[in-house]
Chain A
Amino acid sequence: MEYNGGSVVAMIGKDCVAIASDLRLGQQSVGVAMNFEKVFPVNDKLYYGLPGLATDVYTLREQLRFRVNMYRMKEEREITPKTFTHLLSSTLYEKRFGPYFLEPVVAGLTTPTELEPKPKPFISTMDTIGCITTPKDFAVAGTAQDKLYGMAEGLWEPDLEPEDLFETISQTLLNAVDRDALSGWGAIVHVITHDKVITRQLRSRMD
């Protein structure tokens, strides 16, 4: 889990979610790439982050792409964040005794339906074998996890508007990874609202 380095954080805001990651790929202490994204879209309302072993990041991304495509074809509708979380969880548990070295974070908005006209924004995280946690505030994972907990606990407050959520999640990520030797080398933030997703790259410390 600490071979390549990298961290992800997700936060809930007012009718929006944000998910952010650093861009470092290393081989223990040496940095190798500064454009290694760890957050991927399922669709424009649902994103997930995969911090951990880089080879598993790519493998799981492709696995999930396959499974989500099959879901889309069979169900003829987009997958919801909650269902996607469970899909990810069962994919990880299949490898219970030889797991993927990742701790995924999911962030998304559920489209309103008749049964649920005002759904809450959704984030979740799980351990390496798929145990789901659905926090109400923020979810953190990666080599800077402990520092992210501290930053998020201090900076997060409920009902942040998208611009404020962007500032909060950015400062949480930047200052946490600046205390971690294996995370950093750039950062990228996605803020998801019902009409659009705004993606911004942050100017960060490059050491």
Chain B
Amino acid sequence: MAVQFDGGVVIGADTRTTTGAYIANRVTDKLTHIHDRIYCCRSGSAADTQAVADIVHQHAQVYTAIYGHAPPVATVAALFEKMCYENKDQLSAGIIVGGWDPEVGGSVYNIPLGGGIFRQPWAIGGSGSTYVYGYCDATYQEGWNEEQTLQFVKNTLALAMSRDGSSGGCIRMCVITKDKVERHFIPGNELPRFWEGKEVTGVEAVGLNAADMVIA
């Protein structure tokens, strides 16, 4: 998901890649660098999205070489949209572009499966997103600062990761502003936890963590 705020954009994603029900990678990095202040979140087929992102990354570099400045986020999003729309029959790619540019500030562009392009204040995607539309609609406010936006992204992702079998692992977030791109990582055992029901059959939950048992 990606959320715009005063000063930039926060993008975030879970870290799970599955082949069927097998979790092939539990620490994936789905936040992909396109340019200095432009990142994208990838969902759908990993191969498709990696290939498209690589090509757009190249286009962005060529743009910078020709024009002498970074491409606007809208331009990069248009490049993604061109690839995703023209190859819509072959691709399974849901991409969210988030970044900062000097003319507009922070902006978020959602490019779902068909290859349409939608600028939104906040955008969510991927299989887990369906479970958190209500939460996002109810919670989002305009005018948040960086801290509040981070909290929103963290909670949304944690809820989706809890419900959706295809989402999980850890949370990776990037804060993209004029000055820098700051990466955040939240390990799986530090995720926010929500209602999980009472103990089963009156049994006490034991605090046994996999981390407690180290095989030297």
Contacts and interface: CB of A to CB of B under 8 A. Distances in A.
A and B associate in one complex: yes
Contact of A29 (B164, B191, B200, B201): B164
Q: How large is the interface on A (under 10, 10 to 19, 20 to 34, 35 or more residues)?
A: 20 to 34
13 contacts: A26-B165, A31-B164, A143-B21, A167-B213, A178-B23, A180-B21, A181-B21, A188-B200, A199-B203, A201-B199, A205-B168, A205-B189, A206-B193
A178 B18 contact: no
A68 interface: no
B192 to A, nearest CB: 11
Contacts of B207: 203
Contacts of A35: 197, 200
Main secondary structure on A side of the interface with B: loop
A203 B164 contact: no
B196 interface: yes
B104 interface: no
A103 interface: no
Contact of A5 (B165, B166, B205, B209): B165
Given A181-B21, A200-B204, A203-B207, 5 more contacts: A29-B164, A180-B22, A181-B16, A181-B165, A199-B201
Interface residues of B, number: 36
A202 B200 CA distance: 11
Interface string B161-172: 111111111000
A202 B206 contact: yes
A207 B197 contact: no
Interface in A161-207: 167, 170-171, 174-175, 178-182, 186, 188, 199-203, 205-207
A64 interface: no
Interface in A99-140: none
Contact of B196 (A37, A170, A171, A206): A206
A182 B22 CA distance: 9
Contacts of B204: 200-201
Contacts of B169: 207
Main secondary structure on B side of the interface with A: loop
B188 interface: yes
Contacts of A205: 168, 188-189
B127 interface: yes
- Among all A-B residue pairs, the 8 with the closest Cβ atoms: A207-B168, A181-B165, A29-B165, A207-B161, A181-B21, A201-B205, A179-B23, A200-B206
Instruction: Identify which of A31, A167, A181, A203 gathers the most chain B CB atoms within 10 Å of its CB.
Output: A181
B131 interface: yes
Contacts, number: 88
A30 B164 contact: yes
Interface of B: 14, 16, 18, 21-23, 26, 127, 131, 161-169, 188-189, 191, 193, 196-197, 199-201, 203-210, 213
Instruction: Identify which of A23, A186, A205 gathers the most chain B CB atoms within 10 Å of its CB.
Output: A205
Contacts of A28: 165
A124 B200 CA distance: 26
A171 B205 contact: no
Given A180-B21, A200-B203, A206-B193, A175 B168 contact: no
A203 B200 contact: no
B165 A175 contact: no
B49 to A, nearest CB: 19
